[in-house]
């Protein structure tokens, strides 16, 4: 009885101490004279997101609009234990992301290269190693490389008519995201791994199966991802793995087998895997500024002799996941807008017909570059529906916020409220209206910098934006030239965003009816 009483008292004291600590931590921004919303235990300002009642997009809009309404340049949020700095002013954003980038070089995502090798990718890597890897891979996405891979993209559209024709024959609605995911997976599996994904032919292919599992983990893997958002430092200290073992095995095995086959048979292809293989024999090095007093002259030097197979697999994995998911997401929203705005759909189709008419009816790299109205439609879609509604940066060196009394401590997380900025009527009047002409050269020239952030900005902006834009254009041209799309009643309108997904996903998906022209 005495033991039980002792345990009960101990637990009660522990619980009270925890609550007191949380309450104190929720005063972080108040103590620094930074605006923040009222908090609730134990979620801070993220109750609706934790309980999956509201999307991340809504959270970014709420804080962004409130900060702007108060005439402030930044605000703060509490994500349970983690205080989040939210800059809203374009001038401050430019300062942080470009001018003072050395203070915000890292993403916040989990990295554990030893136990969880696929997490050691270009998106999650930090400091000098990230810089070294980025500098080596920047050339992978040059316009010259895109031209070399362009025909592969076109070849991957050949199965799209078969899928659409089958739906027409059966008088079935089309799940736009599903079809475009299979299309983009076919492209990415080919240009990254040099392997035919065959997802348009076989919706149950391994590439589709493990691609889904990678972007939407289930069960214990999903719970570990959740814990990483709350206690990232503890999870890294405990060396907890977050990648599904099935996903890890699939991608690691493909990379090992592909490299072994090419080495044994002296195969040389024009794809990313070949470029990765060349890096096995090249020095990888970089220097970054640091506030570590043990580093000579305030700099950190990173050096390694070539890429390992695990590092190649990690880079191939992130290019694969990011490449298919974000492009498919963009395509589904664009097609939705084209069904809701038939005049715009007709105008895009007219441009496609006119341009292809000058190129022997063939989809060529040069033809795609001439489709300027299609380009505006892509960017307006990314404006209205940024696939990632918010991105984070970690403060890697103590930072004095310009023109303020606030100093951000090392380790503070900054959140860029992309969705909020993209729906600001000061930059985009009537932001809910789909208007491609927002991205005419004239309109872009009068808009402040840092008001379009779909790809991020500064040295850490998306390295694969050329590939993503190009494959989206090719896919859309391939279907719009021969088919007309109208919205099916299965689509829930107005669109609602799924609170369980970080990537901007519509509840119930987007379904269209298809008519062959």
Task: Give tens-digit pLDDT for 154-183.
Answer: 999 999 999 999 999 999 999 999 999 999
pLDDT at residue 303 greater than cutoff 70: no
Of 294-308, 327-341, 348-362, the least confident: 294-308
Point out the annotated binding site for heme. Answer: 462
DSSP assignment letter at 38:
P
Task: List pLDDT tens digits, range 123-139.
Answer: 999 888 899 889 888 88
Which residues is 144 bridged to in the sheet? none
DSSP assignment letter at 459:
G
Place of tokens 């696939």: 387
pLDDT at 294: 40
| Mean pLDDT confidence for 412-436 | 96
Which residues is 512 bridged to in the sheet? 174, 487
Please give the mean pLDDT across all residues of the chain. Answer: 89
Task: List pLDDT tens digits, range 495-508.
Answer: 999 988 888 999 99
pLDDT at residue 215 greater than cutoff 90: no
The C-alpha atoms of residue 237 and residue 37 are separated, in whole angstroms, by 31
State both tokens at 214.
């990678």
Most trustworthy range by pLDDT among 203-207, 212-216, 296-300, 467-471: 467-471
Q: Sketch the domain layout of the chain as residue ranges.
A: 32-516
The C-alpha atoms of residue 420 and residue 453 are separated, in whole angstroms, by 11
The C-alpha atoms of residue 491 and residue 173 are separated, in whole angstroms, by 10
Q: Are 116 and 93 in contact (CB under 8 A)?
A: no
Domain 32-516 sits in CATH 1.10.3720.10: no
The C-alpha atoms of residue 156 and residue 475 are separated, in whole angstroms, by 9
Place of tokens 């703060």: 76
Point out the annotated binding site. Answer: 462
pLDDT at residue 293 greater than cutoff 60: no
Is 489 strand, coil or helix?
Answer: coil
pLDDT at residue 300 greater than cutoff 80: no
Q: Is the pTM of this model over 0.95?
A: no
């Amino acid at each position: 009885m005495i033991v039980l009483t002792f345990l009960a008292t101990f637990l009660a004291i522990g619980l009270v101490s925890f609550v007191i600590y949380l309450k104190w931590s929720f005063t972080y921004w108040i103590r620094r004279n930074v605006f923040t919303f009222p908090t609730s235990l134990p979620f801070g300002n993220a109750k609706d997101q934790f309980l999956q009642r509201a999307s991340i997009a809504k959270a970014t809009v709420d804080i962004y609009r409130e900060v702007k309404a108060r005439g402030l340049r930044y605000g703060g949020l509490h994500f349970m234990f983690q205080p989040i700095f939210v800059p809203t002013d374009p001038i401050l954003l430019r300062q942080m992301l470009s001018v003072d980038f050395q203070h915000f070089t890292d993403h916040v995502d989990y990295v554990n290269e030893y136990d969880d090798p696929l997490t050691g990718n270009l998106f999650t890597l930090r400091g000098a190693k990230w810089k070294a890897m980025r500098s080596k891979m920047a050339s992978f996405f040059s316009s010259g490389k895109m031209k070399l891979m362009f025909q592969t993209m076109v070849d991957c559209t050949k199965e799209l008519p078969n899928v659409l024709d089958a739906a027409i024959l059966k008088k079935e609605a089309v799940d736009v995201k599903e079809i475009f995911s299979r299309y983009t997976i076919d492209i990415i599996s080919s240009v990254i791994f040099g392997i035919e994904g065959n997802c348009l032919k076989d919706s149950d292919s391994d590439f589709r199966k493990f691609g889904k599992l990678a972007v939407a983990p289930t069960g214990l893997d999903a719970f570990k991802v959740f814990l990483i958002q709350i206690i990232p430092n503890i999870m890294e200290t405990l060396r907890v793995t977050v990648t599904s073992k099935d996903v890890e095995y699939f991608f690691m095995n493909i990379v090992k087998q592909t490299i072994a086959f090419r080495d044994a048979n002296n195969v040389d292809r024009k794809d990313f895997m070949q470029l990765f293989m060349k890096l096995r024999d090249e020095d990888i090095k970089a220097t970054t500024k640091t506030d570590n007093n043990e580093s000579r002259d305030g700099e950190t030097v990173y050096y390694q002799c070539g890429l390992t197979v695990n590092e190649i697999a990690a880079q191939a994995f992130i290019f694969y996941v990011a490449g298919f998911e974000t492009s498919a997401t963009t395509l589904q929203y664009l097609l939705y807008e084209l069904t809701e705005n038939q005049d715009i759909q007709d105008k895009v189709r007219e441009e496609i017909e006119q341009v292809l008419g000058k190129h022997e009816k063939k989809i060529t790299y040069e033809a795609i570059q001439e489709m300027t109205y299609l380009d505006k439609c892509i960017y307006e879609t990314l404006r209205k529906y940024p696939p990632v509604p918010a991105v984070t940066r970690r403060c890697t060196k103590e930072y004095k916020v310009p023109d303020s009394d606030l100093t951000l401590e090392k380790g503070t997380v900054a959140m860029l409220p992309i969705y909020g900025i993209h729906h600001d009527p000061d930059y985009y009047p009537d932001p809910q209206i789909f208007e491609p002409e927002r991205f005419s050269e004239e309109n872009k020239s009068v808009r402040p910098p840092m008001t379009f952030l779909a790809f991020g900005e500064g040295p850490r902006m998306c390295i694969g934006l050329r590939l993503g834009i190009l494959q989206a254009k090719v896919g859309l041209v391939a279907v719009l030239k021969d088919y007309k799309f109208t919205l099916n009643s299965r689509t829930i309108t107005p669109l609602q965003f799924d609170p369980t997904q970080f990537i901007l996903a519509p509840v119930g998906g987007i379904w269209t009816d298809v008519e062959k022209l």
